[in-house]
């Protein structure tokens, strides 16, 4: 992926990994637009990073995605990079799930349908540019699920699959398709910011950006901390990795 000279949209760019990516790409001289539902988070990020701009977006609302894409194309016709980062994560007790599984449906709407809809809405604009890229943010949990968050993990596995198909269908175009696969990172997703087991956000962003800078043809951005999950099946250790991940979640001493 080309790391400079871009106009980049980052969903969920007001906090966590999205903000980290926004600041890192901004420092390289890219024009950054961040989008999200929480105006306060957007305002805090733009205030701390002069030159970064923001637009509000409800990634769960199909009509809002369409109007957002039209406004974005009008205001930023040079947009050439889309980073689908916005997402939510919730614990679910499947045996106690109500007849109306609202949490599961919200996860699917935000984490899977949102990126699919936004990609479809922006693809015509991206196809007009001499160079474009789409980066979808999945998770190490796409490859080894954490059982207490089943729908989150399922949506991230689906994003991985969708990304592979998107990349194949866009062969022969000027659009690169990448997948960023984070490990457990210290963000406010599930209150992981204070968990010592989580990879510090600044370290994750620095390592991911270094991969992008030094491996321009990379399609999957995997920092070292996520490789145990990403390649669990290929390494032949899937069962032990799955048990280790999920047994640790049940043990109150971990």
Dump pLDDT digits (tens) for 71-103: 999 999 999 999 999 999 999 999 887 777 999
SS3 content of the chain, % helix, strand, coil (to 5): 50, 15, 35
Dump pLDDT digits (tens) for 97-141: 777 799 999 999 999 999 999 999 999 999 999 999 999 999 999
Q: What is the pTM of this model?
A: 0.95
Task: Give a yes or no: residue 98 inside a domain.
Answer: yes
* Residues designated as active site: 152
Task: Give a yes or no: residue 11 inside a domain.
Answer: yes
Task: Give a yes or no: residue 44 inside a domain.
Answer: yes
Task: Give a yes or no: residue 42 inside a domain.
Answer: yes
- Please tell me the predicted confidence (pLDDT) of residue 192: 59
Distance separating alpha carbons of residues 246 and 139, to the nearest angstrom: 16
Task: Give a yes or no: residue 108 inside a domain.
Answer: yes
Task: Give a yes or no: residue 210 inside a domain.
Answer: yes
Task: Give a yes or no: residue 96 inside a domain.
Answer: yes
Task: Give a yes or no: residue 238 inside a domain.
Answer: no
For residue 141, give the DSSP letter: G
- What's the domain range around 62? 7-229
- Please tell me the predicted confidence (pLDDT) of residue 253: 38
Give the residue among 134, 165, 180 at the shortest CA–CA distance from 2: 134
Longest distance between any two alpha carbons in the chain, whole Å: 54
With a CB cutoff of 8 Å and minimum separation 6, the contacts of 170 are 177
Strand 53-56 with 31-36, pairing: parallel
Domain count, the chain: 1
CATH number of the domain enclosing 46: 3.40.50.720
Taking the CA of residue 58 as centre, how many other CA atoms within 13 Å lie in the half-sphere pointing to its CB? 7
Distance separating alpha carbons of residues 206 and 116, to the nearest angstrom: 27
With contact defined as beta carbons under 8 Å apart, do 206 and 187 qualify? no
């Amino acid at each position: 992926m080309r790391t400079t000279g871009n106009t980049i949209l980052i969903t969920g760019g007001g906090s966590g990994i999205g903000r980290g990516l926004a600041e890192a790409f901004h420092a390289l001289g890219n024009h950054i637009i961040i989008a999200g539902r929480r105006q306060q988070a957007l305002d805090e990020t733009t205030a701390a990073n002069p030159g970064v701009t923001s637009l509000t977006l409800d990634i769960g609302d199909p009509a809002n995605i369409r109007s957002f894409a039209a406004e974005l194309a009008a205001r930023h016709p040079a947009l050439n990079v889309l980073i689908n980062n916005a997402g939510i994560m919730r614990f679910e007790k499947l045996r106690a799930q109500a007849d109306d599984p609202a949490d599961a449906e919200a996860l699917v709407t935000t984490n899977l349908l949102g990126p699919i809809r936004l990609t479809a809405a922006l693809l015509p604009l991206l196809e007009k540019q001499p160079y474009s890229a789409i980066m979808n943010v999945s998770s190490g949990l796409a490859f080894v699920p954490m059982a207490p968050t089943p729908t989150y993990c399922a949506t991230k596995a689906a994003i991985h699959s969708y990304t592979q198909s998107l990349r194949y269908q866009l062969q022969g175009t000027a659009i690169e398709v990448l997948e960023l696969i984070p490990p457990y990172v210290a963000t406010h997703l599930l209150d992981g910011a204070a968990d010592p087991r989580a990879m510090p956000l600044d370290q994750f962003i620095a390592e991911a950006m270094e991969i992008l800078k030094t491996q321009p043809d990379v399609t999957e951005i995997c920092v070292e901390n996520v490789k145990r999950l990403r390649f669990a099946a290929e390494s032949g250790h899937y069962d032990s990795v799955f048990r280790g991940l999920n047994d640790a979640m049940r043990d109150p001493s971990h």
